A and B are shown apart, each in its own frame.
Chain A
Amino acid sequence: MRVLLMHRDRDFDPGGGLPENTEDLTRDLGLQPLLQAMASGDDFVYEVARKALLDGLSEPEEILYRQRALADCLEEAEVVREIHRVAIEAIEGERKVFVGLLHDSPRSILNRAVQVLGMFLGHLRRLRGLADEHAGSFSSEAFGRFFEMVRRDLSDDYLAEVERHLGELEFGRGMLFSARLGRGNRGRDYVLRVPRRQRLLERLPFGDRSGYGFTVPDRDVSGFRALDELSDRGLNRVADVTARSADNILGFFELLRAELAFYVGCLNLRDRLAARGEPLCFPTPEPIEKKALSARGLYDVSLSLSVEGRVVGNDIDADGKGLVMITGANQGGKSTFLRSVGLAQLMMQCGMFVPAGSFRASICSGVFTHYRREEDERMRSGRLDEELGRMGRIAERIGPGGMLLCNESFSSTNEREGSEMARQVVRAMVESGVRVFFVTHLYDLARSLYDRRDGGMLFLRAERLPDGSRTFRLLPGEPLPTSYGWDSYRRIFEVA
């Protein structure tokens, strides 16, 4: 039985490793508020959401598969949450089954497995019931297939057969094992056998001529222990198979829980944003080669979740652009914009809705961030080294189709050096097919690129009104030779 709600053709792996740049992305894009809103207090949902976001899909088809499943979830939120609860209850129920403090013996392993399977039987029946009742309200391929599988694989006949075997495993008529002679003539290869009915009847009265029997005296404690150990040897395989089956069904519930956790996280986020009146839309994923990126009202979802009231959205038309240079005033919304691009990209690629009125973008092969780091006391002299080191590590992993978000990169040295280094990096990246979004105060850099009048570049500038106030909007515009540091200075020093 498979779940396949996250991928059409493979299981979602919530435990898989996170990409190497997880920490940078989390910090630079501000993933925390987004993930917390999705988790809504459930640590497991948090982990799944993080994994899904950071390990996105790479084909438009895969993204659409998930988008359609998510659309079903948005419609039938209660049913989805109920299936999620069934999975959680099965998993928690399994944890509560203890079989004393005895050392693991095949017998105790088997007993526990039989109990667990008996309990799972109830959950599987509930799942069947939900499928019978609600399958018709779901239209996505993912959920349609899931319900169909549940109804087929958990048929009444099958569930009855499982129940019968669970009864057999109590061994009311004793146990029959086969064995061979091993080292030192010790019995080995004990195998539990299905007794032949009539043969067994012949054997039981001990009047059989072919075999030999004996009885362990009632007070022979060590004799009974020996019998227990013998049967343990014989039960080893069956205990293993049964316990593995219990594990497998547990694994099914765990996977079901994990795959639904993503959708539950989306439902939680939807509820939060809907309460604030923020728009959401299903994005249109385009192939990598198109270098598509256009959005209306794109906002920073993490910022929105962290402040009162609504935040400013931006429109962007960067179709076909390999480089987007962002300049302009401090506190003008450049970093917010950069984050909103990165977040929307990640959300789109994991099949989610995105925080915008509309959003259409090419898939990218990986999102990387290179942000200026605050000065670290411990390494005062090594800032440029550190920066270059990080860029070096990015260069090892990024490839064509990647997305690189730079925020004040190369500003830990003087403008001339920084600009020259940045020019070389940007040029190499863009020519290799990486889309670069570069927020910078390096006027030399921005101006020299602008002067090339290259159609593959887009220049945005944070809007500043003549009175010095910001609109937090980014508009196309050439870089200006000042970054309005004076504004900040004035504000901070309260200069008139």
Chain B
Amino acid sequence: MEKTFQSILFEDRRAGELRAAEPTFFSDFRLDAVVEELLSGREEYDLAPFFHTPLREPGEVTYRQEVARDLERGEVREVVEDFARRMRAMRECLSLAGKLHHELQKQRWFLDAAGVYCEAVRSLARELPQREPASRGLRALSDYLAGYAGSEEFSGLEEEVRALREDLAGVVYTVHIRGNRVRVDTYEGEEDYGDEIERVFARFARGAAKDHRVRFRDPPELGHVEERILELVARLNPDVFGRLDEFCRRRRDYLDETVAAFDREVQFYLAYLEYAGRFREAGLPFCYPEVSEEVGETRVEEGFDLALAASLLREGGSVVKNGFHLRHPERILVVTGPNQGGKTTFARMVGQLHYLASLGLPVPAAEAHLHIPDAIFTHFEREEGVERLRSKLEDDLVRLHEILREATGESLIVLNESFSSTTLEDAARIGTDLLGRIERLGALCVCVTFIDELATLREETVSMVGTVDPEDPSVRTFRIVRKPPEGLAYALALARKYGLTYEDLKRRVKR
């Protein structure tokens, strides 16, 4: 038996203790920008906490992955999006019902809110099971909705709304305006004067003509003249307006809590999938990572940095994809290579992949096998602090120390040029020792550095190198590949291109 539906985000509601604040590494991985962008337009749902709260259990991750996979199917997403649109429309009606001051207007907006709600529920309850969702989450929701929509409470509401709306739609009245006098009456079939004018001038009619109709703004609030007219219309139609009044008093709490919670929580997936869709349209892959609780084999194929890809897509640039593969006992990626060659991007990508996987979402890669870290720690070089070198190094070391103290063998540590605020010799020593500690800890680590020596330390370490175009070494490929560090190769190649190698210079100077 499936459990009673609780939440589309958590199989077990107790797992859902949410963090309001952004994780500390968010800006290092530029996940702050990613989340901000993917949430834009969905502010009303307050989704950020869901994106700040990673899961820990592989089971919880797969619960979400199943839901996300369902929602990737157009026919499933369609019905959920349609539901969300209706719920949003409902909230707009309710908010007007609350804001406006004239009773006859408040009542009508409240009735419309209830109407839109009924349609939202009815349609989701009918359509969702037909689209045959496979996930535990959406199936449980389906069952819940079947019960709710079938209840007497709900269908009573539905019927009442329908009858009231129909009767209100049937009200047709006339307004006669002459000078400052206004008269309201029931419409009795008087002819349309526009038709008459159209007929008179028909012989001049030509193809498509410019439309001279003016579009009127319809502010929700009526002016006092329109209110007077509305009151007179109500007096001409006492029955329907009486029932409307009574409905509003009796049906104050029509909204179901579980339905409302689903409406909010499912936006977590929709927001992300819509965002991912933009990349997919540009031919970039997303996949559902295989996840494991312990650090084992880690593998990524054709991964990319979401934040960078987003800006590249805006500017029309092409996105370079990178992968890596760690087999036991490999756990530490040391990334070296030319400046601006994509090393930091690579580190961010690794961080983003792990974090997004732990949210139960598809990740920006063609294939991924990832470990769900118990925590993520970052140490990124920051621009500030050049004037106080000493204290910056100290600050860095304090921070690194904290990381080592808090991290476990199931953590992910991302270090980006962490030792650059000291001499090369010192940096090499510090780095070597630090990586030794991380290795002993057993944590997964990415270390971006200009110190080649760190890349050749031990069997836990894998060297990744940013490459350049062999034809033109001044062109970076932004491809990070597994190979030994290249030392001066890049600089020498550039020198040759400009005729500045030793041999070149000797020949040229001789002439």
Given that A161-B200, A174-B178, A226-B224 are contacting pairs, would A195 and B190 also be in contact in the complex, using a CB cutoff of 8 Å? yes
Given that A183-B218, A192-B194 are contacting pairs, would A212 and B236 also be in contact in the complex, using a CB cutoff of 8 Å? yes
Minimal beta-carbon separation of B174 from chain A (angstroms): 5
Q: Do the beta carbons of B190 and A206 come within 8 Å of each other? A: no
Cα distance A489–B114 when bound, in Å? 96
Is A16 in contact with chain B by the CB < 8 A criterion?
no
CB nearest to A188 among chain B residues:
B218
Interface residues of A in 202-236 (CB under 8 A from B): 203-204, 206, 208, 210-218, 222-224, 226-227, 229-234, 236
Minimal beta-carbon separation of A442 from chain B (angstroms): 45
Q: Which of A181, A192, A206 has the most CB of B within 10 A?
A: A181
Interface residues of B in 176-224 (CB under 8 A from A): 176-188, 190-194, 196-198, 200-201, 203-206, 209-214, 216, 218, 220, 222-224
Cα distance A238–B197 when bound, in Å? 7
Minimal beta-carbon separation of B212 from chain A (angstroms): 4
Q: Do the beta carbons of B212 and A109 come within 8 Å of each other? A: yes
Given that A185-B104, A226-B224 are contacting pairs, would A206 and B214 also be in contact in the complex, using a CB cutoff of 8 Å? no
Q: Do the beta carbons of B190 and A194 come within 8 Å of each other? A: yes
Q: Do the beta carbons of B206 and A251 come within 8 Å of each other? A: yes
Is B169 in contact with chain A by the CB < 8 A criterion?
yes
What 1/0 mask marks residues of chain B from 7 to 20 whose CB sits below 8 Å from any chain A CB?
00000000000000
Is B235 in contact with chain A by the CB < 8 A criterion?
yes
Is A242 in contact with chain B by the CB < 8 A criterion?
yes
Is A245 in contact with chain B by the CB < 8 A criterion?
yes
Q: Do the beta carbons of A185 and B201 come within 8 Å of each other? A: no
Q: Do the beta carbons of B177 and A212 come within 8 Å of each other? A: no
Q: Do the beta carbons of B216 and A233 come within 8 Å of each other? A: yes
Cα distance A172–B104 when bound, in Å? 34
Minimal beta-carbon separation of B340 from chain A (angstroms): 37
Q: Do the beta carbons of B177 and A226 come within 8 Å of each other? A: no
Q: Do the beta carbons of A199 and B188 come within 8 Å of each other? A: yes
Q: Do the beta carbons of A175 and B104 come within 8 Å of each other? A: no
Minimal beta-carbon separation of A373 from chain B (angstroms): 35
Stretch at the interface among B32-40, B105-113, B150-158, B280-288: B105-113
Stretch at the interface among B47-55, B76-84, B226-234, B463-471: B226-234
Is A126 in contact with chain B by the CB < 8 A criterion?
no
CB contact between B174 and one of A169, A193, A237, A243 (< 8 Å): that residue: A193
Cα distance A187–B176 when bound, in Å? 14
Q: Do the beta carbons of B213 and A227 come within 8 Å of each other? A: no
Q: Do the beta carbons of A231 and B177 come within 8 Å of each other? A: yes
Minimal beta-carbon separation of B333 from chain A (angstroms): 52
Is B173 in contact with chain A by the CB < 8 A criterion?
yes
Q: Which residues of chain A are within 8 angstroms of B204 by Cβ–Cβ distance?
A: 1, 245, 248-249, 251-252
Cα distance A7–B105 when bound, in Å? 59
CB contact between B177 and one of A106, A199, A230, A245 (< 8 Å): that residue: A230
Q: Do the beta carbons of B213 and A240 come within 8 Å of each other? A: yes
Cα distance A248–B96 when bound, in Å? 43
CB contact between B182 and one of A173, A184, A227, A251 (< 8 Å): that residue: A227
Q: Do the beta carbons of A181 and B225 come within 8 Å of each other? A: no
Is B172 in contact with chain A by the CB < 8 A criterion?
yes
Q: Do the beta carbons of A215 and B112 come within 8 Å of each other? A: no
Given that A176-B190, A231-B177 are contacting pairs, would A214 and B228 also be in contact in the complex, using a CB cutoff of 8 Å? yes
CB nearest to A175 among chain B residues:
B177
Q: Do the beta carbons of B175 and A179 come within 8 Å of each other? A: yes
Is A153 in contact with chain B by the CB < 8 A criterion?
yes
CB contact between B222 and one of A104, A113, A177, A186 (< 8 Å): that residue: A186
Cα distance A237–B195 when bound, in Å? 9
Is B100 in contact with chain A by the CB < 8 A criterion?
yes
Q: Do the beta carbons of A238 and B184 come within 8 Å of each other? A: no
CB contact between A215 and one of B181, B233, B235 (< 8 Å): that residue: B181
Q: Do the beta carbons of A226 and B226 come within 8 Å of each other? A: yes
Cα distance A165–B229 when bound, in Å? 30
Minimal beta-carbon separation of A295 from chain B (angstroms): 40
Is B171 in contact with chain A by the CB < 8 A criterion?
yes
Is B481 in contact with chain A by the CB < 8 A criterion?
no
Is B134 in contact with chain A by the CB < 8 A criterion?
no
Given that A178-B190, A213-B182, A215-B182 are contacting pairs, would A240 and B226 also be in contact in the complex, using a CB cutoff of 8 Å? no
Minimal beta-carbon separation of A250 from chain B (angstroms): 9
Is A367 in contact with chain B by the CB < 8 A criterion?
no
CB nearest to A237 among chain B residues:
B194
Cα distance A81–B218 when bound, in Å? 51
Q: Which of A173, A216, A224 has the most CB of B within 10 A?
A: A216
CB contact between A192 and one of B96, B109, B192 (< 8 Å): that residue: B192
Cα distance A174–B176 when bound, in Å? 7
Cα distance A229–B219 when bound, in Å? 13
Is B168 in contact with chain A by the CB < 8 A criterion?
yes
Minimal beta-carbon separation of A230 from chain B (angstroms): 7
Cα distance A222–B228 when bound, in Å? 14
CB nearest to A180 among chain B residues:
B172
Q: Do the beta carbons of B182 and A241 come within 8 Å of each other? A: no
Q: Do the beta carbons of B174 and A239 come within 8 Å of each other? A: no
Cα distance A373–B481 when bound, in Å? 55
Q: Which residues of chain A are within 8 angstroms of B186 by Cβ–Cβ distance?
A: 210-211
Q: Do the beta carbons of B214 and A175 come within 8 Å of each other? A: no
Given that A237-B213, A241-B198, A241-B201 are contacting pairs, would A215 and B180 also be in contact in the complex, using a CB cutoff of 8 Å? yes
CB nearest to A183 among chain B residues:
B112
Q: Do the beta carbons of B108 and A185 come within 8 Å of each other? A: yes
Q: Do the beta carbons of A248 and B193 come within 8 Å of each other? A: no
Is A315 in contact with chain B by the CB < 8 A criterion?
no
Q: Give 3 closest A-B pairs by Cβ, nearest first.
A: A174-B178, A211-B185, A245-B201
Identify 27 residue pairs between A and B in the complex whose beta-carbon atoms are under 8 Å apart, listed by A's number: A113-B212, A165-B197, A175-B178, A177-B175, A179-B173, A181-B169, A184-B100, A184-B108, A185-B107, A204-B178, A211-B232, A211-B236, A212-B183, A212-B236, A213-B184, A214-B182, A218-B180, A222-B224, A223-B180, A230-B177, A230-B225, A234-B175, A239-B212, A241-B197, A247-B209, A248-B206, A251-B204
**Known interface pairs A199-B190, A248-B201; 19 further A-B residue pairs with C-beta atoms within 8 A, sorted by A's residue number:** A113-B212, A158-B203, A176-B174, A176-B190, A177-B177, A179-B173, A179-B175, A200-B176, A203-B176, A206-B183, A210-B185, A213-B182, A222-B223, A226-B224, A230-B229, A239-B213, A241-B197, A247-B210, A247-B212
Binding site for B on A (CB under 8 A): 1, 104-106, 109, 113, 153, 158, 161-162, 165, 169, 173-181, 183-187, 191-196, 199-200, 203-204, 206, 208, 210-218, 222-224, 226-227, 229-234, 236-245, 247-249, 251-252
